[in-house]
Amino acid sequence: MGEIQAIIFDMDGVLIDSEPINLKVETENLDALGFPIPKEISRTFIGASKKAVQAKIQGVYPEIDLEKLQTEMDNRKKQVTIEYATIVFPELVESLQYLKNKGIPMAVASSTYHDKVKVILKEADLIHYFDVIIGGDCVENSKPDPEIFLKTATELHVSPKNCLVVEDSHNGVKAASRAGMYIVGKNDDRFDQDISCADEFFDTYDEFLKSMKNKFE
Protein backbone atom coordinates (compact mmCIF):
# COMPACT_ATOMS: atom_id res chain seq x y z
CA MET A 1 0.00 0.00 0.00
CA GLY A 2 1.34 3.41 -0.97
CA GLU A 3 0.86 6.51 1.14
CA ILE A 4 -2.89 7.23 1.31
CA GLN A 5 -3.45 10.78 0.04
CA ALA A 6 -7.20 10.64 -0.74
CA ILE A 7 -10.25 8.51 -0.01
CA ILE A 8 -12.97 7.65 -2.52
CA PHE A 9 -16.37 6.43 -1.36
CA ASP A 10 -19.09 4.67 -3.28
CA MET A 11 -22.51 6.05 -2.27
CA ASP A 12 -25.28 3.43 -2.31
CA GLY A 13 -24.58 0.81 0.33
CA VAL A 14 -21.53 2.69 1.61
CA LEU A 15 -22.67 6.15 2.69
CA ILE A 16 -26.39 5.43 2.79
CA ASP A 17 -28.27 2.17 3.33
CA SER A 18 -30.14 2.49 0.06
CA GLU A 19 -29.35 -0.82 -1.66
CA PRO A 20 -32.34 -2.71 -0.15
CA ILE A 21 -34.70 0.07 -1.21
CA ASN A 22 -33.24 0.48 -4.70
CA LEU A 23 -33.24 -3.24 -5.44
CA LYS A 24 -36.78 -3.70 -4.12
CA VAL A 25 -38.13 -0.79 -6.16
CA GLU A 26 -36.29 -1.91 -9.30
CA THR A 27 -37.42 -5.54 -9.18
CA GLU A 28 -41.00 -4.77 -8.12
CA ASN A 29 -41.38 -2.25 -10.94
CA LEU A 30 -40.00 -4.72 -13.48
CA ASP A 31 -42.42 -7.37 -12.18
CA ALA A 32 -45.35 -4.95 -12.44
CA LEU A 33 -44.41 -4.02 -16.01
CA GLY A 34 -44.26 -7.67 -17.03
CA PHE A 35 -40.49 -8.14 -17.08
CA PRO A 36 -39.54 -10.24 -14.04
CA ILE A 37 -35.79 -10.72 -13.62
CA PRO A 38 -34.21 -13.85 -12.10
CA LYS A 39 -32.63 -13.22 -8.70
CA GLU A 40 -29.18 -14.30 -9.88
CA ILE A 41 -29.29 -11.45 -12.40
CA SER A 42 -31.05 -8.80 -10.32
CA ARG A 43 -28.41 -9.06 -7.58
CA THR A 44 -25.82 -7.94 -10.17
CA PHE A 45 -27.71 -4.64 -10.40
CA ILE A 46 -25.95 -3.63 -7.17
CA GLY A 47 -23.09 -1.28 -7.95
CA ALA A 48 -24.06 -1.07 -11.65
CA SER A 49 -24.97 2.04 -13.64
CA LYS A 50 -28.37 2.60 -15.24
CA LYS A 51 -26.84 1.76 -18.62
CA ALA A 52 -25.39 -1.49 -17.28
CA VAL A 53 -28.70 -2.47 -15.66
CA GLN A 54 -30.48 -1.82 -18.95
CA ALA A 55 -28.03 -4.11 -20.73
CA LYS A 56 -28.70 -6.88 -18.19
CA ILE A 57 -32.47 -6.50 -18.66
CA GLN A 58 -32.09 -6.61 -22.42
CA GLY A 59 -30.04 -9.78 -22.03
CA VAL A 60 -33.16 -11.43 -20.60
CA TYR A 61 -35.63 -9.68 -22.93
CA PRO A 62 -33.79 -8.98 -26.23
CA GLU A 63 -36.79 -7.38 -27.94
CA ILE A 64 -37.56 -4.94 -25.11
CA ASP A 65 -37.97 -1.23 -25.89
CA LEU A 66 -35.44 0.11 -23.40
CA GLU A 67 -36.38 3.77 -23.86
CA LYS A 68 -40.05 3.07 -23.17
CA LEU A 69 -39.19 0.82 -20.23
CA GLN A 70 -36.89 3.42 -18.68
CA THR A 71 -39.55 6.11 -19.00
CA GLU A 72 -42.08 3.88 -17.24
CA MET A 73 -39.55 2.93 -14.56
CA ASP A 74 -38.60 6.58 -13.95
CA ASN A 75 -42.27 7.56 -13.63
CA ARG A 76 -42.82 4.81 -11.07
CA LYS A 77 -39.72 5.79 -9.09
CA LYS A 78 -41.02 9.34 -8.78
CA GLN A 79 -43.81 7.92 -6.63
CA VAL A 80 -41.26 6.62 -4.09
CA THR A 81 -40.10 9.05 -1.42
CA ILE A 82 -36.87 8.26 0.42
CA GLU A 83 -35.76 10.33 3.40
CA TYR A 84 -32.03 9.99 2.81
CA ALA A 85 -31.03 11.60 6.09
CA THR A 86 -32.66 8.66 7.90
CA ILE A 87 -30.63 5.98 6.09
CA VAL A 88 -27.11 7.36 6.62
CA PHE A 89 -25.06 4.59 8.19
CA PRO A 90 -24.41 4.92 11.95
CA GLU A 91 -21.02 6.45 12.87
CA LEU A 92 -20.40 7.47 9.24
CA VAL A 93 -20.48 11.18 10.03
CA GLU A 94 -17.92 10.73 12.81
CA SER A 95 -15.62 9.00 10.33
CA LEU A 96 -16.05 11.69 7.67
CA GLN A 97 -15.51 14.47 10.20
CA TYR A 98 -12.33 12.80 11.46
CA LEU A 99 -10.94 12.52 7.92
CA LYS A 100 -11.92 16.10 7.10
CA ASN A 101 -10.20 17.33 10.28
CA LYS A 102 -7.09 15.45 9.16
CA GLY A 103 -7.20 17.28 5.83
CA ILE A 104 -7.71 14.11 3.77
CA PRO A 105 -9.33 14.91 0.38
CA MET A 106 -12.50 12.86 -0.12
CA ALA A 107 -14.62 12.03 -3.16
CA VAL A 108 -17.72 10.10 -4.15
CA ALA A 109 -17.59 7.81 -7.20
CA SER A 110 -21.08 6.40 -7.73
CA SER A 111 -22.79 4.56 -10.56
CA THR A 112 -25.83 6.76 -9.87
CA TYR A 113 -26.07 9.76 -12.19
CA HIS A 114 -24.14 12.84 -11.05
CA ASP A 115 -27.08 15.20 -10.51
CA LYS A 116 -28.93 12.57 -8.47
CA VAL A 117 -25.84 11.91 -6.35
CA LYS A 118 -25.63 15.61 -5.50
CA VAL A 119 -29.32 15.76 -4.57
CA ILE A 120 -29.01 12.70 -2.33
CA LEU A 121 -25.85 13.94 -0.62
CA LYS A 122 -27.46 17.33 0.02
CA GLU A 123 -30.59 15.75 1.47
CA ALA A 124 -28.45 13.46 3.65
CA ASP A 125 -26.37 16.49 4.79
CA LEU A 126 -23.16 14.85 3.58
CA ILE A 127 -22.18 16.85 0.50
CA HIS A 128 -19.91 19.29 2.36
CA TYR A 129 -17.47 16.51 3.21
CA PHE A 130 -16.54 15.81 -0.42
CA ASP A 131 -14.16 17.64 -2.72
CA VAL A 132 -15.10 15.72 -5.88
CA ILE A 133 -18.32 13.98 -6.96
CA ILE A 134 -18.34 11.72 -10.01
CA GLY A 135 -21.49 9.96 -11.24
CA GLY A 136 -22.08 7.09 -13.61
CA ASP A 137 -23.02 9.47 -16.44
CA CYS A 138 -19.59 11.14 -16.20
CA VAL A 139 -17.84 8.10 -17.70
CA GLU A 140 -18.31 5.83 -20.70
CA ASN A 141 -17.75 2.53 -18.90
CA SER A 142 -19.42 1.51 -15.65
CA LYS A 143 -18.00 -0.53 -12.79
CA PRO A 144 -16.32 -3.09 -12.86
CA ASP A 145 -14.39 -1.02 -15.42
CA PRO A 146 -11.90 1.17 -13.51
CA GLU A 147 -12.70 4.33 -15.49
CA ILE A 148 -14.77 6.05 -12.79
CA PHE A 149 -12.07 5.59 -10.15
CA LEU A 150 -9.28 6.70 -12.47
CA LYS A 151 -11.27 9.80 -13.40
CA THR A 152 -11.92 10.54 -9.73
CA ALA A 153 -8.21 10.24 -8.94
CA THR A 154 -7.44 12.67 -11.76
CA GLU A 155 -9.99 15.17 -10.39
CA LEU A 156 -8.43 14.80 -6.94
CA HIS A 157 -4.93 15.34 -8.44
CA VAL A 158 -3.76 12.16 -6.71
CA SER A 159 -2.12 9.07 -8.19
CA PRO A 160 -4.42 6.00 -8.20
CA LYS A 161 -1.87 4.09 -6.10
CA ASN A 162 -2.31 6.70 -3.37
CA CYS A 163 -6.11 6.40 -3.25
CA LEU A 164 -8.13 4.34 -0.78
CA VAL A 165 -11.56 3.20 -1.97
CA VAL A 166 -14.50 2.21 0.22
CA GLU A 167 -16.83 -0.18 -1.62
CA ASP A 168 -19.56 -2.72 -0.88
CA SER A 169 -20.25 -4.37 -4.24
CA HIS A 170 -18.46 -6.92 -6.39
CA ASN A 171 -18.53 -4.52 -9.35
CA GLY A 172 -17.09 -1.69 -7.27
CA VAL A 173 -14.32 -3.73 -5.67
CA LYS A 174 -13.26 -5.14 -9.06
CA ALA A 175 -13.21 -1.63 -10.54
CA ALA A 176 -11.05 -0.28 -7.71
CA SER A 177 -8.73 -3.27 -7.95
CA ARG A 178 -8.26 -2.71 -11.68
CA ALA A 179 -7.50 0.95 -10.95
CA GLY A 180 -4.66 -0.16 -8.66
CA MET A 181 -6.15 1.37 -5.53
CA TYR A 182 -6.19 0.18 -1.92
CA ILE A 183 -9.65 -1.22 -1.14
CA VAL A 184 -11.59 -1.27 2.11
CA GLY A 185 -14.63 -3.49 1.67
CA LYS A 186 -17.85 -2.81 3.59
CA ASN A 187 -19.38 -6.15 4.52
CA ASP A 188 -23.12 -6.66 4.02
CA ASP A 189 -24.40 -10.24 4.19
CA ARG A 190 -27.80 -9.28 2.74
CA PHE A 191 -26.71 -9.19 -0.88
CA ASP A 192 -24.30 -12.05 -1.59
CA GLN A 193 -21.62 -9.75 -3.01
CA ASP A 194 -18.14 -11.18 -3.54
CA ILE A 195 -15.78 -8.46 -2.28
CA SER A 196 -13.03 -10.91 -1.32
CA CYS A 197 -10.36 -9.11 -3.36
CA ALA A 198 -10.54 -6.06 -1.07
CA ASP A 199 -7.45 -5.40 1.04
CA GLU A 200 -9.33 -5.10 4.33
CA PHE A 201 -12.92 -5.21 5.54
CA PHE A 202 -15.24 -3.66 8.09
CA ASP A 203 -18.77 -4.26 9.34
CA THR A 204 -19.49 -0.94 11.07
CA TYR A 205 -18.15 2.58 10.78
CA ASP A 206 -16.87 2.30 14.31
CA GLU A 207 -14.46 -0.34 12.97
CA PHE A 208 -13.72 1.80 9.90
CA LEU A 209 -12.85 4.82 12.05
CA LYS A 210 -10.44 2.76 14.15
CA SER A 211 -8.74 1.60 10.95
CA MET A 212 -8.44 5.18 9.69
CA LYS A 213 -6.94 6.32 12.99
CA ASN A 214 -4.34 3.57 12.71
CA LYS A 215 -3.44 4.87 9.24
CA PHE A 216 -3.38 8.62 9.92
CA GLU A 217 -2.09 8.94 13.49
- 3-state SS assignment for residue 193: coil
- What is the per-residue pLDDT across 12-45, written as a single tens digit (0 to 9) for each? 999 999 988 888 888 888 999 999 999 889 888 8
d(CA 33, CA 128): 38
Task: Please name the residues in contact with 210: beta carbons below 8 A apart, sequence gap of 6 or more.
Answer: none
Among 33-42, 69-78, 161-170, top mean pLDDT goes to 161-170
Q: What is the tens place of the pLDDT at every residue in 78-95?
A: 787 889 999 999 999 999
Judge whether 6 and 156 are in contact, CB under 8 Å.
yes
pLDDT digits (tens, 9 = 90+) for 140-161: 998 999 999 999 999 999 999 9
Contacts for 8 with CB less than 8 Å, ≥ 6 apart: 106, 107, 108, 109, 149, 152, 153, 156, 163, 164, 165, 166, 176, 181
Instruction: State residue 47's pLDDT score.
Output: 67
Catalytic residue numbers, as ranges: 10
Mention every residue, 6+ apart, whose C-beta is less than 8 A from residue 81: none
Whether 49 has a pLDDT exceeding 80, the answer reads no
pTM, full prediction = 0.86
